Amino acid sequence: MDFDAVKRDFLDHCRGKGLSPHSLKAYRQDLADYAGWLAREGTAEPLTRDAIAGWVLALQDRALAPASIKRRVACLKVLCRWLEEEGRIETSPFHRLRFDIRLPRRLPRNVRRDDLRTLFAAAIRPPAHAASRMARETLHLAIELMFTTGVRVGELCAIRVDDIDLGEGVIRIRGKGNRERRVFFVDDAVRAHVRSYLKRRAATRPATERLLVTREGTPATPDYIRRHLKALTEAAGLPIPITPHMLRHSAATELLDNGVDIRFVQKLLGHSSISTTEIYTHVSDTSLKHAIQSAKAGKGVRGG
C-alpha cells in the first residue's frame, strides 16, 4: 500500500466534506508524523496493528502529552475507518486494538469573585466608540448568561429569540448530541437585562433569529465571544484571561456552594454522567474549610 497516496486521497475526502482548515491542518500534520516514523522504521506494511502499536510506543517515548498522543491516534483511526468504508482495506487494524493513554484529570479553573466584579464593571462601561456599543452589549449579556446558567459557549450562540420565555425566565438549550434542556434566569436583574437587550437588538434589525448578534447584525459565534471576552479581560487589567469555560465552571461552583443538589447541577449543565459534574465539588473544599474554621470544630474539647 502506498501510504502517501492514501494520505492524499483521505485529505481530499476530508476537504470535500467541508472540514475546517484547522482540522485539515491537524490531520495533515498527524499523518505526516506517522509517515515519517514509517520511513525511519522501514516498515513495509503501513497499516497493521504492530505498526500502529509501535508508533504509539514511539510517541510515548517522545514524552508527548497524553492529549497529543490521543489526537494522533484518533486521526489514524478515522483514516482506517474511511479506508474500510471505501473497501480499500478489508478490516480496520483498530478493531480490538486498545491503548492505555491516560489523560490527567484537570480540575476546573474558576473566576475569583473580585475578578468577576471587575469583569462585570468593565462590561457595563460604555465603549470608546459608539459603533461598538452593540458588540459590548452582546458580550455583557453573554457573560451574564454563561455565569447565571452555566451554558457552554456553543450552546449560548445557538440560542434563538424564540427559545426565550421572559415571563418564566426560561431558555431552551440544544446541547451535545442534540439533547434539549432548559436553563433558568430567575433573577429580576438578569431578566431585565435580557428584556433590554432584546429591545436594543430589535432596533438593529438583524437578519438572524439568533439571540446574540454582532454590531453588523450577524450571529455571534463562539470564536467571536472568546475573542471579545479575552480583549475585555485585558482591558480590565485582570491577571489572567477569563474564558467562557471558566464562567461555566464558576456557575457550577456557585450553585454547589449554595447547597444545590449535585443532581440538579448535572441537569442544568447538561452532563450525561454525574461523574463529570462531581469534578466541580473539589472547588467547594475551600468553602468547607472556611465553614469548619468558622465553627471552630473541637473547641473546648482538647486540653490547653
From residue 165, give the alpha-carbon distance in Å to each of 79, 138, 191.
45, 19, 10
Q: What confidence category does residue 285 fall into, taking pLDDT thresholds of 50, 70 and 90?
A: low
Residues 68 and 176 in one domain: no
| Residue from 152, 201, 210, 249 carrying the catalytic annotation | 152
CA distance 183 to 170: 6
- Cβ atoms of 276 and 265 within 8 Å: the answer is no
Residues 7 and 127 in one domain: no
Cα torsion 123, 124, 129, 130 to 10°: value is 130
Tens digit of pLDDT for each residue in 28-46? 999 999 999 998 888 778 9
CA distance 221 to 80: 33
Tens digit of pLDDT for each residue in 49-95? 888 888 888 888 787 788 888 899 899 999 999 999 999 998 888 88
290 as an active site residue: the answer is no
271 as an active site residue: the answer is yes
Q: Give residue 20's domain range.
A: 3-85
Tens digit of pLDDT for each residue in 180-206? 889 988 889 999 999 999 999 998 889
Q: Report the mean per-residue pLDDT for the chain.
A: 84
CA distance 96 to 138: 49
Q: State how many domains the chain has.
A: 2
CATH of the domain at 79: 1.10.150
Q: Which residue has the cell 471505501?
A: 86
Q: How many CA atoms lie within 13 A of 89 on its CB side?
A: 19
DSSP character at residue 296: T
Please say if the pLDDT value at position 295 is more than 60.
Answer: no
- 239 assigned to some structural domain: yes
| Residue from 81, 109, 113, 176 carrying the catalytic annotation | 176
The three-point CA angle 240-140-118 to 5° equals: 40
- Cβ atoms of 46 and 3 within 8 Å: the answer is yes
Say how many C-beta atoms besides its own lie within 10 A of residue 134's C-beta.
21
- 74 assigned to some structural domain: yes
Domain end marker among 85, 100, 124: 85
27 as an active site residue: the answer is no
Residues 63 and 126 in one domain: no
| Residue from 70, 181, 200, 245 carrying the catalytic annotation | 245
Backbone φ, ψ for residue 160 (5° rounding)? -100, 160
280 as an active site residue: the answer is yes
Please say if the pLDDT value at position 101 is more than 90.
Answer: no
The three-point CA angle 83-30-82 to 5° equals: 15
Residues 230 and 118 in one domain: yes
CA distance 7 to 209: 41
Q: What confidence category does residue 301 fall into, taking pLDDT thresholds of 50, 70 and 90?
A: very low
25 as an active site residue: the answer is no
224 as an active site residue: the answer is no
